[in-house]
Amino acid sequence: MKLMSRLGAAALATATLVTALPAAAETTLKVSLFTPPVSPLNEQFERIKAGLAEATGGELVLELYESSQMGPPVRQFDLVRTGVADITVLLLGLTPGRFSMSQLAEMPGMSDPGVSEEASYAVSQATMELGTEYLADEYPSAMLLNVAMLPNPIILTKQEVTKLSDIEGLRLRHPGEIHAATIEKLGGVPVLVQPTELAEALSRGQIDGALTAYSGIMNYQLQDSAKFAYELPTGGLEFAVVMNTESYENLPDDLKPAFDEYFGAGGQDAWGRLLGAGEVRLREHLETLGVQVRQPSEEDLATFNAMVPDLQEAAIEALESEGKPARAFAEALREKLGK
């Protein structure tokens, strides 16, 4: 009896000790996204959130704040720089002049033509590989985790565009300086409109169309106001995944390997294909909703391609005049891309 009592007491003590052990500390990273849940970017973060929870037994948690809950698109970088958010995704062209070196990767001719998973994959990879050498100064207090380039944004219009000359005089929203120059070269009038204001600007007739993406149409339901999509090899829309430097450094060492599978070099392959694949899928879906896709004639395509060297040179010269190593970065990109 005494032996059984001692064994019972020992078992109870062991159970009490196990129960009293503290649970592993949970690390939460706040992710600010200006895009809505239907965006391929948000869907990617949901996949990563689930993957990290499984890989770390719930110890590393992504807390998503979507649809500009933490701040408008133009404030996303400052949210991360100041540590209000740990991670965000930037559309670089929304803050003119702030990420101008990075945006050289958006120039026409850097992405391959067409809308496909592969069209902007190579330039996404090349930009990441050159980021430390050429782009780090544009992200103070933050790390450039990944680049997700969206290939060849379309010209979405309220009235049908079937040839380049139809663009002349149209007021078109642009998503950054690189694309504003393209619109001007085509004879259009570039207007800067934030993504969340696009639908209203179209419906009120403040603009005639927008240089945007199929994902942009879907994100903000633009097909209700504009149904004509004209495809040109316009370059890329560059989205950058950035993280507060201290937030990364403060991650527990045992959680960093799981994090690094999805971000940085370990995750770049997926980020590089993400938006191209999304464009293919969403174009097909939007066509079922009545969006009409038009291609340029061979003559118009040749005319546009002849403009590309001048567009690239003007963008490079503008930054060189500010003392930035734009030509060196552009040449390094071209070398990696074989262009």
Domain segments of the chain as ranges: 25-337
Hey, CA dihedral for 52, 130, 306, 100, is it positive or negative?
positive
Question: Is 31 buried (19+), middle (13-18) or exposed (0-12) by CB count in 10 A?
Answer: buried
CA dist 174 and 99 (Å) reads: 16
User: Strands, DSSP E only, in the chain?
Assistant: 27-32, 60-65, 87-91, 142-151, 154-157, 171-174, 189-192, 209-212, 228-230, 236-244, 292-294
SS (H, E, C) 120-185: CHHHHHHHHHHHHHHCHHHCCCEEEEEEEEEECCEEEECCCCCCHHHHCCCEEEECCHHHHHHHHH
CA dist 88 and 245 (Å) reads: 12
- pLDDT on residue 25: 80
CATH architecture of 25-337: 3-Layer(aba) Sandwich (3.40)
Q: In Å, how far are 264, 293, 327 from 258, measured between CA atoms?
A: 11, 41, 37
Q: 130 and 298 in contact (C-beta within 8 Å)? A: no
CA dist 277 and 265 (Å) reads: 20
- Closest Cα partner for 139 from 16, 61, 57, 243? 243
DSSP reduced 3-state for 300? helix
- pLDDT on residue 24: 59
Q: 147 and 87 in contact (C-beta within 8 Å)? A: no
- pLDDT on residue 87: 99
In order along its 339 residues, the chain shows pLDDT tens digits of 443 444 344 444 444 444 444 445 899 999 999 999 999 999 999 999 999 999 999 999 999 999 999 999 999 999 999 999 999 999 999 999 999 999 999 999 999 999 999 999 999 999 999 999 999 999 999 999 999 999 999 999 999 999 999 999 999 999 999 999 999 999 999 999 999 999 999 999 999 999 999 999 999 999 999 999 999 999 999 999 999 999 999 999 999 999 999 999 999 999 999 999 999 999 999 999 999 999 999 999 999 999 999 999 999 999 999 999 999 999 999 999 999
- Closest Cα partner for 114 from 188, 225, 214, 216? 214
Backbone phi and psi for residue 53, each to the nearest 5 degrees, phi listed first: -60, -40
Backbone phi and psi for residue 139, each to the nearest 5 degrees, phi listed first: -125, 60
- pLDDT on residue 16: 42
Cβ density class 200-230: b for 16+ within 10 Å, e for less: ebbeeeebbbbbbbbbbbbbbebbebbbbbb
